Amino acid sequence: MRLFETSAIQIKNKILSKEIRATDFIKIVFDHIKNVEPNIQSFITLNEDEAIKKAIEVDKKIENSENVGALAGIPVAVKDNICTKNLYTTCASNILKTFIPPYDAFVIKRLKEEDAIIVGKTNLDEFAMGSSTENSAYKITRNPWNLECVPGGSSGGSAAAVAADFSLMALGSETGGSVRQPASLCGVVGIKPTYGRVSRYGLVAFGSSLDQVGTLSKDVRDAALLLRVIAGYDLHDTTSANIAVPDYLDTIDSGVKGLRIGIPKEYFAVSFNDDVCKALKDALKIYERLGAQVVDISLPHTEYAVAVYYIIANAEASSNLARYDGVRYGYRTFKPNGIMDMYYRTRSEGFGNEVKRRIMLGNYALSSGYYDAYYLKASKVRNLIKIDFDIAFEKVDCIICPTSPVPAFKIGERANNPLEMYLSDIYTIPANLAGIPGISIPCGFSKDGLPIGMQILGKHFEEKKLLQIAYAFERETDFHLKKPALKISPV
C-alpha cells in the first residue's frame, strides 16, 4: 500500500512520531495528483505553494516539540463554495471566476488552527446545484472507479479527490444530499451533520434553511476526527447551535448490541437497483449478527420530499443568488448600457442553465398569487416530513436505507432531464428537510465494480451514535479499503 492510500489518523501518527515529515508527505501527494488528476479533474484550483509552506510550518513545530493541531500535516481538499482567504472560490460558476475571498469561512479557520494542509479547491455543480458535478462551468469530474461515470454531486470533486487519494479527507456541503450521494458513488464516507452543528459562515449560501458543511473521508474514524474539528458554535452564524461538541472517537468502538435499527418500508417499496438492494440486505444481516435489532418503520410522507425540496431550496436560492449583480464582486458584463442592462446581461452571461432554472422556479414559487400554493404548502409538508422522523425515532436508535437508488450513472445520461436528475436525491433529501444528521458509508459493489453506499440517519445532534453504528459495520467489512485502479494520465 502506498503511503497516501492510508487513513488520516495513520498518517498523522507517522508525522507526530517523526516517521515521515509533513513536507515529504505533501510532496508525495502532489506528485500523485500530477500523475492522475488529468484523468479525474477533481480540482478547480490547486494550492501547492501554500500547502508546502504550511507543511514546513508543521514540521518546525514538531521539531521544536511545540503543540500541534488535531489535523497536523493532513492534506484536506475543500469544495470550491467554501471561502478561503486569498484563494479563488468560484462555486464552479463563471459569475465568480475571479472571486478571491478576503476572509476564511469558519470551517477553514478551524482547519488552519488544527494545522491541516489545504491541497486545493474542488469541482462542484455550479453553486452546488446538481447531483453529478456535470453542471460545473469549468470541467466535468470523473468517477475514479469508472472514468465514464459521474462522481455524484454536488460535492463530486471532493468525493473523487478522496477516492483517488489526492487528499486524505475533504470538506463538502449539503443542501439535499450533496455530500452523502457523491460519497456513496465514489466509495468513501460522507457525513451531513445536524443543521446548526457546523457554522455556515463563509459557505456560499444556496438554501439557507438546509445548507450544512459536511465531511468526506476514507473511513469512519477519520470522519469523526474531522467533524470534531469543524463542529461548534460560531457567533457569525446565528443558526449554529451552542451545544458542546463531544469527542466523536472516544467510544466509537462501543458496537451496536441492543440498538434498534429502523428500516423505512417506503424507501424499500420503490424499485431500485438489484445490486443496491442486495448490498443493503447483506449489511442488515451483519448488523443483526452484531446484536442489533432490525425493525420496520414508516415514514409516510417520503414520496413528497423531492417536491417540497425543489420549492423550498429554490425559493431560498432565488433570494440568495440575487446578490450576484455585477456590483461588489465577480463578473460584470462588458460595457453595460445602464444599470438594468448591467443586471440582466451580467446574470444571463454569468449563470449556467441549471442555476437559471432554479432561480426562476424559486421566484415563481414566491411570486404574488403563487406563494400560498407553492411555498406555504411546501413548508407545511416539510413539517409533516419532520414529524415522520420524530415518530420513528421514538421507536428506533437510527434509520438505515440506501444513500442513492443506483450506483454511479454514466456521464451525460441524465444531463438533459432535470427532473430525473432531481430524483437521484430521493433518499437523501428528507434528512435535509428534517435537519437530522446522516452518514453514508461503503457497503458493497455492483456487478460492474461500482461502489454502493448505505446511509444511517439519526436524531438531531446524535452524530456520535451514528459514527459508532457506522464504525461497527466498517470494522466487520473491508469495502472501505478497496481502491479504484488509477491510471497515470498520458503526458
Residues in contact with another protein by CB under 8 A are 98-100, 102-103, 195-196, 209, 235, 238-239, 241, 301, 303-304, 306-308, 310-311, 318, 322, 325-332, 336-339, 341-345, 347-348, 351, 353, 356-357, 359-361, 363-364, 367, 374, 376-384, 386, 418-419, 422, 434-435, 460
Catalytic positions, please? 79, 154, 178
By beta-carbon proximity to another protein, the closer residue of 27 and 357 is: 357
4 versus 461: smaller Cβ distance to another protein:
461
Nearest CB to another protein, comparing residues 272 and 344: 344
Q: Least CB distance from residue 356 to another protein, whole Å?
A: 5
Query: Smaller CB distance to another protein: residue 131 or 143?
Result: 131
Angstrom distance (rounded) from CA 14 to CA 18: 6
Nearer to another protein, 110 or 382 (CB): 382
What does the alpha-carbon distance between residue 214 and residue 439 come to, in Å, rounded to a whole number? 10
Give the shortest CB-141-to-another protein separation in angstroms.
24
Q: At its nearest, how many Å lie between another protein and the CB of residue 426? A: 12
- Identify which of residues 277 and 387 has a Cβ nearer to another protein in the complex: 387
Amino acid at 133: T
- The minimum distance between CB 387 and another protein, in angstroms, equals 9
Rounded to a whole number of angstroms, the minimum distance from the CB of residue 461 to another protein is 10
Query: What is the nearest approach in angstroms of another protein to the Cβ of residue 308?
Result: 7
**β-pairing verdict for 260-264 and 398-402:** parallel
Distance of closest approach, residue 462 Cβ to another protein, in angstroms? 14
State which residue, 295 or 360, has the beta carbon closest to another protein. 360
